[in-house]
A and B are shown apart, each in its own frame.
Chain A
Amino acid sequence: MIYLCVGRRASIPYYIDTAGIGLYSAEELAYYIKENIMMLDASILDESLCKFIEKELALPELAGALRECVMSGGSITDFVETLMSKTNLASKDEIENMKRQLAARGSLSKSEKHRMKGDFLVKGGRYSEAVNEYNMALDEIDLSQKPNEAARIFHNKGVAYAELFYFSEASECFRQAFELNPTSQSSKEAYFDARALASGKVPESVALGDNVMERRYRRYLRKVEDGDIEGSQVILTELLNDMENAYRRSV
């Protein structure tokens, strides 16, 4: 099945600062809203978005309806519902689901909101900002009252640090996550991997996951057993480069 395009493709995109992304079509705008419904804030109720829809996407009627929504003090929910229903870019069920999610947002705690924003920033590759959000989330949470939620925040903060190659900090976050939630196998494994990386070693989980890296890892172990420190450091550097390249390819 194919679908008719809504409006035209913009020559100048609408830039979403928080996501670091430009949107070129009504379909992209709708997709972004659907995928990040929990992250929407009042900044979407913006004349510049209405102007973009009117001029760049050539949808003056939609822009007029959204403008009316903004000027009459409409909520984010009203705005999203107007956008989706007038463009048929979401089914009735999807629109209802989005409305429910937006309503549920009101009942989220400050900590949850910060954590979700941190997760959103990690998805967008903005790891430093994500760490700040996780810190704010931890400031708002009572570790003893909500250990699992706190563990989740520490784990995700560890992931953000690891993406920044701050393995010592990452290792510490995973350790705290595992302490708060001892049942979390992923936090435990992540802790050991980060610790290995922090001390310049290759994590076993990585070494055994790739043939080329596995062979390099085994050569590294042989050099260490033979007491060839210089040789082992050279191979370790090559191995860390392999891991870095593999990471870059994956994103």
Chain B
Amino acid sequence: MKNIIEKSMAVGIDLSDDFSEISYIDRNDMNVVTYRTGSDEEKFEIPTLACKIPGEEGGWCFGEEAISASQEYGIELIDNLVHRAIIGKNICTEYNEVVDPVRLLGMFVLYVLLYPSEINPKGIASLVITTESIDPALPAIFEKILTNIRSEIENIRYISHAESFFYYALNQPIELWREGVLLFDYNFMHFKMSSLLIDSRTKPAIVMTEEKSYDDMVPFVEENAQLYDNIFREITENELLNKRISAVYLTGSSFAGRWADKTLRFLCSRARVFVGQNLYTKGACYAAADLVGWTRLGSRYIFMDETRINTSIGIRASDGVREDVIPVISPGVSWYDINVCAEFMLGTDRKISLVIRGSGDDNEREAVIRCDWIPERPERATRIRLEITCPRKNLLTCKVTDLGFGEIFPSAGLSREEKVELL
């Protein structure tokens, strides 16, 4: 009897150049678990490092294994895997082996995905990867490295840390975000404060984050702990002046020690305070669960950031009686998530009209895609496939393929692409 593995797991990976983390959620109990990489309860980090063991038998190793191999063989570690993939320059190892950085990042992501023994790739319903921000080059990089995985995992998304924060915060009990949420993210590179702004006037509600950076706090030096505590206290006092907050989250390696006692005492008097190093991976995991409909956050709240388009796109079409504009892309979708594929019947005018409307804007414009290259056939006797993708923000690629009309008018096998600017 064939064993059918139920896809009951949603996985979130926080992919950063220093450390990466993985969380998973089982549909049957809906508890998010971050995989512990050591005996320490709070140790979740997998170092984002790679190392090539020398010799013919040598292969690539990652994370702590890479650190061990580096020490054992005296070879250099390869770090900043995400940044290297974005730059795209080939990496040359000590032994003059050349490796594609995108391929290397792909191997690392697969390593992280298979790291926990609890995760069976065949049982994964969705995967969300979160990075600090979505560099314009990243979606194409992720598409490339995840091509092989897509045969097992159909639902994959990439989100920023800001969006991860949104998913994490709004999946907590309502009393932890009803009056506002603050996040402090502090590591050797940055000290950022993010606040969630929820506009409930629309349905679904629009959610954004407002970020502020404080360079005075970077980098954290233990000797100046008291100074940093004072600065931190001042920042929080200014932020919470005449404002109510439900919860404050502190994340990042620089919050590891107990140097911020004064500030924490103040924060605890004003809100619930949580310190942890796995907020983003858990947020990504919540996003993965929402992607496959296990939670319904996305239907009630839309997260908006710079990756989202603020236009709606529809196609003017008729059902044979009435003409209407069929919505295909709504505002609030990330540009790299746009992937529309639909079939229509072509009229004898052989053109497709896209109706483009800005968010909050009553004006609309039409972009016409001509299909004169398709052989002339009677009205509604040509089936076409229309595929719309977004190679970069505010630019659509529309591909039209002639599917013919069954055996009556066989397809000419032709297809054409046209670009449409959204601005």
Contacts and interface: CB of A to CB of B under 8 A. Distances in A.
Given A28-B405, A28-B408, A89-B320, A1 B351 contact: yes
Interface in B319-334: 319-321, 323, 326
A19 B150 CA distance: 43
In the A-B complex, list the 3 residue pairs whose CB atoms are closest, starting with the nearest.
Answer: A88-B320, A1-B347, A3-B345
Contacts of A24: 406-407
Given A27-B405, A28-B405, A28-B408, A1 B318 contact: yes
Given A27-B380, A89-B380, A3 B406 contact: no
B383 A2 contact: no
Interface of A: 1-5, 9, 13, 21-25, 27-28, 31-32, 87-89
A3 B319 contact: yes
B343 interface: yes
Contact of B406 (A1, A23, A88, A89): A23
B323 A1 contact: yes
Interface string B339-352: 00001111101011
A31 B378 CA distance: 9
A1 B349 CA distance: 6
Given A3-B317, A3-B320, A4-B318, A21 B407 contact: yes
Contacts of B124: none
Interface string B286-314: 00000000000000000000000000000
Contacts of B383: 5, 9, 25, 27
Given A31-B381, A88-B321, A89-B320, A2 B407 contact: no
B319 A28 contact: no
Contacts of B380: 3, 27, 31, 89
B178 interface: no
Tell me which of B344, B351, B380, B406 has the highest count of chain A C-beta atoms within 10 A of its own C-beta.
B406
A175 B318 CA distance: 52
Contacts of A13: 406-407
Nearest to A8: B343
A152 to B, nearest CB: 26
B315 interface: yes
A2 B408 contact: no
B272 interface: no
A2 B346 contact: yes
Interface in B374-409: 378, 380-381, 383-384, 405-408
A2 B347 contact: yes
B316 interface: yes
Contacts of A3: 317-320, 344-347, 380
23 contacts: A1-B317, A1-B349, A1-B351, A1-B353, A2-B317, A2-B344, A2-B347, A2-B384, A3-B346, A4-B320, A5-B383, A22-B406, A23-B406, A24-B407, A25-B383, A25-B406, A27-B345, A27-B380, A27-B405, A28-B405, A28-B408, A31-B381, A88-B320
Given A3-B320, A3-B344, 18 more contacts: A1-B316, A1-B318, A2-B316, A3-B318, A4-B319, A4-B344, A5-B345, A5-B383, A9-B383, A13-B406, A22-B406, A22-B407, A24-B407, A25-B406, A27-B381, A31-B380, A89-B320, A89-B380
